[in-house]
Structure 1
């Protein structure tokens, strides 16, 4: 024999019930079955709402009944033909009884637990009668009232089953019952006096398990609107998938910690009789679902990740607890007497504190009661007043085989730490089937996705980017991302999503990822932005593996890096200002990166897409020591002096460099030497030296008037005015068969930048176009330097350098 239970969503309307009837028909061909049904849709909630409204407004209560009546009679008319009149009469009688009860509530102004149980029982009484009569149209079916079989104590809303009497009733009834299909209402029961009781939250599942155990069923099937127990809540974790097989103990752990597909007590009766439980989807009946049994086939060491929200943490602590027996007893006794459920417990080994997790709804009451219980100890300063923390969640990693694998807890907490998920308390049972952690409720979604990625999606890592600055570099970076999206997934197992984009005017966010094919249109329709608004929005998104990308040359943007790093959000930037700012700020950003486990990468600060900083880091990390650096670090200046001669004007060549994207938006930044000074400063700092920008000797070649200009128009006019000055510089070098290169030098702690005449035998002489070159003289390269050379300017290569830093973060 099989027992089938159908939940509220499975019987929400006529269409769904037709599918239920098809499943019943197919299953009953090979076996006698007992079918337990929940109330239609949200019927029980509405019945209780009506009961509460009846205290003050009987008219509103009756209106709720009328809407419910309309739904139920519609189902009768849609599904029943031969037994329609009889069903109409039965259902009308039940609704008349409900109306009478509501009238009584209104007149007596009383709504007791006994009345609430009676009211809430009508959902299943109605659904089971209707579905039974619908089944009778074509099948050998009978309806049986569960209240006649399941007997409980007098706790009307959360009754405890008298299994001895109940099992006898069920066995007796089914031994005499010759029908192939028996329809019963879940959730409802009665006490020994015949008064209606209910089995509490999830009672329909529990009813099904009670019948399955009493009948020694071959299988208990729980039919719902999902295809089994999932590795995580699929509404929160899109990549979650159904678990094929799972043990009773694992299922209990997952359901206890919020896997709502199964009510925890359901498992106990089936476990005692070793009855397999299968979770199936009413709307995708062909899918196997999840099989819960004593000996499931081996699977992943972690079977699932679950969570409970709306949790509060109650902490009792103080030196007066150490070595004194009875504190735990008094704490739990106080909560028990108040019927406050404890869902999480942990205690310090020093006996200095006890920490319990309870639901938010009970938190204030629990604190008040515990402060009363321990009033004497608190007054004598032996313990502190009870500490209450709200708005928390419990996240649990579950798996029976976890105990056989080393390092799982380390993986769990490392993954959470990398994503700035603060763990408030930890509990792990001695069986090692469950590792639980209390975290902030706001971090629950991020934590679930982080852990699911860690334990179930190790082949594909997801990065979430927040991009500010979409000019030349930013636009090309987004284009490269879109172009490489498929390649990254297939070859690097990397899924990169852009969640937020901003320019100086607008910003746009999309938690599922912005479509990079039309980001410009989306941004144009976005909301007004500011640095603070963008940061607040990024923080609110609370995505795992988050990266803030700065494609600007804006000083104000560089000042917010520390805020992102403190939230464990990595920073990638081509903006040189932060790393060339005061040494204390540079060092602080590096320290924050380490402290909060967030990368701070700025490869493009020197040499655009060239791996200059990465190579230097590898030298230093491997124990090498830098003595001297010689470099041409300005692709724009190299372009200018490679193209400037007696047949051109300095103004025109600089203009061309700007138009082709080699210079900053303000070309004076490049030509003044400040940009090169920042670059050599960064290399010196990355080499381990403590320098300030003011320590760099800048031998400027621009006339003072050009250096003092306030805008690009005046700057370009000054270039025209001083053309003879630039021609003279060119001719002096040409007369010596030298080429002009703007060179940065750093030797044993002293740095300078300036225009130099380079002779033909020098490595810099043949540097073409906008190329950069760096010569590192170190302990290992004392005479023949380590040379890095290549394109050092341009939006495309700078964007590729940003891209490379993002890949570096992904590979960590």
Structure 2
């Protein structure tokens, strides 16, 4: 490599942050405060863009071209509105809107082809699904430049190499490391790239699976021997339960890597199993924090000893939801679960399955989805009030 640079940080901004102009302002403020050290900015698709792209592809397979076009039109409107908030200069705004239109036009052409053939290969679907992150990278780069921050925009396809398992591609560590470290010599101190997206050795677009933008951040950090990873979201760190259904949930201040991995495997929001390994192998701490309150404590994940807090996770499987109690003795968790089932009454509790996982100190019950919020709140009330 060339000149020795200060240790880098990786700053990943989720789609929940970037769905509003305020979120882009928060991002620029955070990166401006970090201009004294090199960093990589990784962004996810804005808001519900990924779901809209999946819906457009599904409509296209059914030959519903009009419905697919409507989904893409909605994406275009959302991004055009964000572009308008990013740049007040008419010329720069027009240039940004044109760049966004060109990116989205690729997805439009692919969807039109799918609507004709009624077939969408996993390779074609990856090209469609990558559009959201491509749009977000373009907006993020423009927002930072508009704020006077010197950046280098780098397509993640040039950074991360994967195998050819389209839709769930696995990163190839050594080729990726070589790519990343080569570009480090030729790019500026602040990079902007997108998560989720990568490419094969031959240059075909791949995606690395659901919520893999965090994996992108962790993987890039490991290749760069970064000193830290921050996952910027719209909540103040990992919570003891989903705050959308349990308002009394507390912020978890500290987790060990293994605790985070276990919690992620049982569906804890904000954490995904694949993001932990690259950081743990290199000893890189991960911080989960709110972009709207960047000076708050958030959640720190590292190798230091941490008392595991009691946590309640949920995985919605449609009609049924798995509710899991983590990091408490099985006697305590089963006692709390039985209390909750008793409060439901025999008619609603009949047939509810309980599964225990001794190694993970976990107990799972599968309940009808409409009952899940009550069950989570009741379990949290019994087990979590003193744990955060």
Q: What is the TM-score of this pair, normalised by structure 1?
A: 0.43
> Do the aligned residues in 2 keep the contact of 1:270 with 1:276 (CA within 8 Å)?
yes
Q: Distance in 1 between matches of 2:353 and 2:94?
A: 61
SS at match of 1:125: helix
Q: Residue 455 of structure 1 corresponds to which residue in structure 2?
A: 383
Q: Distance in 2 between matches of 1:270 and 1:5?
A: 14
> Do the aligned residues in 2 keep the contact of 1:36 with 1:185 (CA within 8 Å)?
yes
Return closer, same or farther for 1:270/1:458 CA change in 2, 3 Å cut-off: closer
Which of 147, 150, 154 matches 1:144? 154
After superposition, the C-alpha distances for 1:62-112 in whole angstroms (9 at most, x for unaligned) are: 232222222222222221237434423322221222222122112222211
Q: Residue 219 of structure 1 corresponds to which residue in structure 2?
A: 228
Q: Residue 239 of structure 2 corresponds to which residue in structure 1?
A: 230
Q: Residue 47 of structure 1 corresponds to which residue in structure 2?
A: 53
What is the Cα deviation at residue 446 of structure 1? 3.9
> Do the aligned residues in 2 keep the contact of 1:8 with 1:41 (CA within 8 Å)?
yes
After superposition, the C-alpha distances for 1:425-462 in whole angstroms (9 at most, x for unaligned) are: 433344xx422233433554344333323333369xxx
The question of 1:416 aligning with 2:337 is answered yes
> Do the aligned residues in 2 keep the contact of 1:424 with 1:439 (CA within 8 Å)?
yes
Q: Residue 77 of structure 2 corresponds to which residue in structure 1?
A: 70
Return closer, same or farther for 1:33/1:437 CA change in 2, 3 Å cut-off: same
> Do the aligned residues in 2 keep the contact of 1:232 with 1:306 (CA within 8 Å)?
yes
Q: Residue 379 of structure 1 corresponds to which residue in structure 2?
A: none
SS at match of 1:176: coil
The question of 1:308 aligning with 2:237 is answered no
Q: Residue 276 of structure 2 corresponds to which residue in structure 1?
A: 267
The question of 1:35 aligning with 2:41 is answered yes
Q: Residue 32 of structure 2 corresponds to which residue in structure 1?
A: 25
> Which structure dedicates a bigger proportion of its chain to strand?
1
Which of 107, 113, 121 matches 1:98? 107
Q: Residue 162 of structure 1 corresponds to which residue in structure 2?
A: 172
Return closer, same or farther for 1:24/1:458 CA change in 2, 3 Å cut-off: closer
What is the Cα deviation at residue 291 of structure 1? 0.3
> Do the aligned residues in 2 keep the contact of 1:302 with 1:455 (CA within 8 Å)?
no
What is the Cα deviation at residue 223 of structure 1? 0.8
What is the Cα deviation at residue 50 of structure 1? 1.6
What is the Cα deviation at residue 411 of structure 1? 2.0
The question of 1:440 aligning with 2:357 is answered no
SS at match of 1:78: helix
What is the Cα deviation at residue 151 of structure 1? 0.8
The question of 1:5 aligning with 2:15 is answered no
> Do the aligned residues in 1 keep the contact of 2:195 with 2:213 (CA within 8 Å)?
yes
Q: Distance in 1 between matches of 2:336 and 2:365?
A: 15
Q: Distance in 1 between matches of 2:263 and 2:336?
A: 20
> Do the aligned residues in 2 keep the contact of 1:228 with 1:289 (CA within 8 Å)?
yes
Q: Distance in 2 between matches of 1:113 and 1:308?
A: 25
Q: Distance in 2 between matches of 1:450 and 1:60?
A: 42
Which of 283, 289, 292 matches 1:283? 292
Which of 114, 126, 137 matches 2:135? 126
Return closer, same or farther for 1:106/1:35 CA change in 2, 3 Å cut-off: same
Which of 379, 393, 412 matches 2:322? 393
> Do the aligned residues in 2 keep the contact of 1:57 with 1:106 (CA within 8 Å)?
yes
After superposition, the C-alpha distances for 1:104-156 in whole angstroms (9 at most, x for unaligned) are: 11222221111110000011111101210221121011110001111111111
Task: Kindly report which structure 2 residues correspond to 1:578-727, keeping only aligned pairs within 5 A, or say none.
Answer: none
Q: Residue 581 of structure 1 corresponds to which residue in structure 2?
A: none
Q: Distance in 2 between matches of 1:444 and 1:85?
A: 47
Return closer, same or farther for 1:410/1:22 CA change in 2, 3 Å cut-off: same
Return closer, same or farther for 1:88/1:416 CA change in 2, 3 Å cut-off: closer
SS at match of 1:415: helix
Q: Distance in 1 between matches of 2:382 and 2:71?
A: 48
Give the stretch that moved more between structures: 35-44 or 70-79: 70-79
Runs (5+) with no aligned partner, structure 1: 311-359, 361-389, 403-407, 460-812
Detail structure 1 runs of 4+ shifted over 4 Å in the superposition.
Answer: none
Q: What is the TM-score of this pair, normalised by structure 2?
A: 0.88
Q: Distance in 1 between matches of 2:309 and 2:97?
A: 51
Superposed CA RMSD in Å reads 2.2
After superposition, the C-alpha distances for 1:480-505 in whole angstroms (9 at most, x for unaligned) are: xxxxxxxxxxxxxxxxxxxxxxxxxx
Return closer, same or farther for 1:412/1:51 CA change in 2, 3 Å cut-off: closer
Higher Rg of the two aligned structures:
1
Q: Distance in 2 between matches of 1:448 and 1:88?
A: 44
Return closer, same or farther for 1:144/1:448 CA change in 2, 3 Å cut-off: same
> Do the aligned residues in 1 keep the contact of 2:237 with 2:252 (CA within 8 Å)?
yes
SS at match of 1:437: strand
